[in-house]
């Protein structure tokens, strides 16, 4: 027997009298065409007053509309008892503070040891049938907040908020040097480096990319910077900060140019890079509207221990 997640319901109002059920599903419950075409074929996917009906029927005030999604699991992900930091969880969402060094999803050559392996194990231990659906990704070395949707409907709604620019995403970074301006906008199109395709560069022929930055503190050899994305290009923060002469400390791909300082400064930069061993980038805040309750959610994660240690080293010379 097919198992379903808890139904998502809506009560038809006077304003919607005579609307087609399909219209209510799309305009009021926000069901995408793709998802609707999928769930309408299932036994309990679309219901009107507790009965399965065609989505072309008209509705009247007081009618109860509901959609139910079939439960899914990530059969291709091996469950592993990998610890991770849960910030928030409910029937729709799992918010995790990802540790640096862990990959989000299995990839070629990395089938185990990922966040996905740990989350799938955690859900199975709880007896939950849920498929791993991260709403966005973080690089392996980047720490911080990541949202995981528990079904396709939730994933769709948060993804739409991302596309519409309605999601708050703030990052904290420790960079080499101190930007001359306390805040600013980096407007630099990004595309692949034709000489090294795994790298990205700022180029006039690239895709539009916007990054807003604000200097939180300057420490001489480095600075703590708050960043907000206007777009979501691959490696955007790392590429943009490098483009203005302030690469992230510890970044092995986008390194601080030795042409920017004296021999002593360059040596200090190398010491700082070695002190953390990864790009000093942290997803500090994530905010969006809950797809089911409509509540505005904001999740925060403090600097991880390695970045806090580096910050103190910059500030106090420890």
Which of 140, 71, 80 has the alpha carbon at shortest distance from 116? 80
Other CB atoms within a 10 A radius of the CB of residue 284 amount to 21
Catalogue the active-site residues: 139
For 22, phi then psi, to 5°, come to -60, -40
CA distance 235 to 253: 10
DSSP secondary-structure letter at 34? H
The C-alpha atoms of residue 268 and residue 198 are separated, in whole angstroms, by 27
Q: Which long-range contacts (CB under 8 A, 24 or more apart) does 307-313 make?
A: 307/143, 307/172, 307/174, 307/276, 307/280, 307/282, 309/275, 309/276, 310/174, 310/249, 310/250, 310/272, 310/275, 310/276, 310/280, 311/174, 311/219, 311/224, 313/272, 313/275
How wide is the angle at C-alpha 315 spanned by C-alphas 314 and 316, nearest 5°? 100
Q: Are strands 222-229 and 8-11 parallel, antiparallel or unpaired?
A: unpaired
Strand, helix or coil for residue 278: coil
Contact 300, 262 (CB under 8 A): no
Strand segments (E) across 127-187? 133-134, 143-149, 168-176, 183-187
Rounded (10°) angle between helices 263-276 and 305-316? 150
CB 156, CB 32: distance < 8 Å: yes
Listed residue (200, 190, 207, 172) closest to 303, CA to CA = 172
């Amino acid at each position: 027997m097919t198992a379903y997640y808890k139904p998502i319901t809506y009560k038809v109002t006077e304003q919607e009298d005579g609307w087609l059920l399909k219209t209510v599903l799309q305009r009021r419950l926000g069901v995408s065409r793709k998802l609707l075409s999928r769930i309408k074929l299932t036994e309990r996917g679309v219901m009107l007053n507790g009965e399965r009906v065609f989505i072309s029927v008209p509705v009247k005030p007081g009618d109860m509309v509901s959609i139910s999604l079939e439960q899914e699991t990530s059969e291709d992900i091996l469950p592993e008892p990998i610890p991770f930091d849960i910030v928030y969880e409910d029937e729709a969402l799992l918010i995790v503070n990802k540790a640096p060094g862990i990959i989000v999803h299995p990839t070629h050559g990395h089938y185990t040891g990922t966040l996905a392996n740990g989350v799938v194990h955690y859900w199975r231990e709880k007896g939950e049938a849920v498929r791993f659906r991260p709403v966005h990704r973080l690089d392996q070395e980047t720490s911080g907040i990541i949202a995981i949707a528990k079904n396709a409907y939730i994933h769709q709604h948060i993804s739409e908020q991302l596309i519409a620019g309605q999601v708050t995403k703030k990052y904290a970074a420790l960079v080499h040097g101190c930007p001359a301006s306390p805040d600013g906008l980096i407007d630099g199109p990004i595309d692949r480096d034709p000489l090294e395709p795994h790298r990205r560069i700022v180029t006039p022929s690239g895709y539009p990319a916007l990054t807003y930055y604000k200097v939180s503190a300057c420490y001489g050899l480095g600075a703590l910077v708050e960043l907000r994305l206007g777009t979501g290009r691959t490696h955007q923060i790392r590429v943009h900060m490098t483009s203005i002469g302030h690469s992230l400390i510890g970044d092995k791909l986008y390194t601080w140019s030795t042409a920017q300082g004296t021999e002593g400064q360059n040596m200090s930069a190398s010491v700082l890079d070695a002190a953390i061993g990864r790009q000093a980038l942290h997803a500090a805040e994530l905010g969006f509207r809950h797809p089911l309750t409509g509540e505005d959610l904001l999740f925060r994660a403090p600097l991880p221990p390695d970045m806090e240690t580096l910050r103190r080293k910059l500030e106090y010379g420890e």
